Amino acid sequence: MTALRGWRIFALLGVTAVFACLPLFLPNDYVLQVFFRIVLFAALGLAWNLVGGYAGQLSLGHVAYFGVGAYGMAMLYAHHVPLWLSVLFSALIATGFAAIIGSIVFRLRGPYFTLSTIAFAEVLRLSVTNLPAAGGAIGLSTPALFPPGAFWKMFYLSAVALAFVSFLVNAWTSRSRFGYYLMAIREDEDTAAAVGIDTANYKLRALMASAFLTALGGGLYGSAFQFIVPDSVLSGEISVQIAIITMLGGAGTLLGPVVGAVLLLAASELFKNKFQESHLLTYGILIVIVVLVLPEGIVGGLKQLFQRKTKPPASVAPLAATPAQGGD
């Protein structure tokens, strides 16, 4: 919804450059790994934002695409597909998955869509857990995308690149007919259809783009941690995390997913050392806060405060009682 004007693009480039330079000054790999996760989840939030934010379709199964990205990369590489091509192909496979599931479930509206995203992701997790070819419950080791020397620096930079691309896709969406159509679908599907929008088709396109970016993130994540099990890259917790990040920051806004990822992951990192598993509690509390106080998220809420004219002031003239320029 925000205009991406000239100076904003420069600001964006500047922020990206600063972020990209950070690893040069970071003291150790642990901190760098934390930053990698933050930026990666910002990218995942931005990818989710296309479907969950602009199009308003609450997906709680995005881990399916994330997992296909990670597992696809590992399994294709094991079958002698070149390393980076296996990352790309697994993202394309995830896009194909999205096309299949989307063309089925986007005929449904409301909670049915959300439920079927959860179901699909769970089916995938259980299948992989019981599939010996995918390592079953034991898991798979993944190929390293970067050499050991600059390992985390390169992963961090890749996450920045993915977040940057995802941001550009969001920025373009917010300023294009495609994005307006998605927002119309979010606000009222009947109205969208009445102005000629093929709602199922546009939701599908948004989901496919989202799945592609999410799977690229899954590939990076899988490779960075060198070993994957169903509970690490196909767990429902990741789906929820992606959705919460975006909703906390502001679904349907450009900066929301970035703000959400920084806040949520930094908070859970800080608390993790003090109370184990407390990040789950953090999510629970944040969900309640978002629903009650900030239904439009932090960025959305701030926008409402400072920018948008929600209601016409009482002083606005009522509609003219007779046409201004004569009837004929």
Burial class for 92, CB neighbours closer than 10 Å (0-12, 13-18, 19+): middle
Stretch that binds another protein, among 68-76, 117-125, 149-157, 177-185 (CB under 8 A): 177-185
Token readout for 112 is 């049915």
Whole-number Å distance between alpha carbons of 164 and 144: 22
The residue from 58, 143, 154, 180 that contacts another protein (CB under 8 A) is 180
Q: Is 327 in the site for another protein (CB under 8 A)?
A: yes
Nearest to 101 by CA among 134, 68, 54: 68
- At closest approach, how far in Å is the CB of 5 from another protein? 12
- At closest approach, how far in Å is the CB of 206 from another protein? 16
210 neighbors 102 (Cβ within 8 angstroms): no
Q: Where are the beta strands (DSSP E) in 25-159?
A: 140-141
Select 173 or 214, whichever has its Cβ closest to another protein.
173
Q: Classify the phi-psi angles of 316: left when phi > 0, otherwise alpha if psi is within -120 to 50, otherwise beta.
A: beta
- At closest approach, how far in Å is the CB of 264 from another protein? 24
Quick note: the x/- pattern for another protein over 183-222, rule CB under 8 A, is xx--xx-xxxxxxxxxx-----------------------
Select 45 or 56, whichever has its Cβ closest to another protein.
56
Select 272 or 308, whichever has its Cβ closest to another protein.
308
Select 188 or 231, whichever has its Cβ closest to another protein.
188
Cα 134 to the center of its chain, rounded Å = 25
Q: Is 152 in the site for another protein (CB under 8 A)?
A: no
Burial class for 192, CB neighbours closer than 10 Å (0-12, 13-18, 19+): buried
DSSP bridge partners of 227: 141
Select 86 or 173, whichever has its Cβ closest to another protein.
173
173 neighbors 179 (Cβ within 8 angstroms): yes
Q: Is 322 in the site for another protein (CB under 8 A)?
A: yes
Stretch that binds another protein, among 95-103, 154-162, 269-277, 309-317 (CB under 8 A): 309-317
Nearest to 267 by CA among 41, 9, 19: 41
Total site size for another protein, rule CB under 8 A = 35
154 neighbors 145 (Cβ within 8 angstroms): yes
Q: Where are the beta strands (DSSP E) in 20-142?
A: 140-141
Select 279 or 303, whichever has its Cβ closest to another protein.
303
Select 130 or 176, whichever has its Cβ closest to another protein.
176
Q: Is 133 in the site for another protein (CB under 8 A)?
A: no
Q: Is 21 in the site for another protein (CB under 8 A)?
A: no
Q: Is 65 in the site for another protein (CB under 8 A)?
A: no
Whole-number Å distance between alpha carbons of 98 and 172: 21
Q: Is 293 in the site for another protein (CB under 8 A)?
A: no
Task: Please state, as a whole number, how many other Cβ atoms lie within 10 Å of the Cβ of residue 310.
Answer: 5
Whole-number Å distance between alpha carbons of 223 and 155: 9
Torsions phi, psi for 140 (to 5 deg): -130, 145
Q: Is 317 in the site for another protein (CB under 8 A)?
A: yes
Select 146 or 180, whichever has its Cβ closest to another protein.
180
Q: Is 277 in the site for another protein (CB under 8 A)?
A: no
Select 21 or 324, whichever has its Cβ closest to another protein.
324
Q: Is 27 in the site for another protein (CB under 8 A)?
A: no
Amino acid identity at 175: R
Token readout for 290 is 């978002």
Q: Is 176 in the site for another protein (CB under 8 A)?
A: yes
Residues in contact with another protein by the rule CB under 8 A? 175-177, 180-181, 183-184, 187-188, 190-199, 308-312, 316-324, 327-328
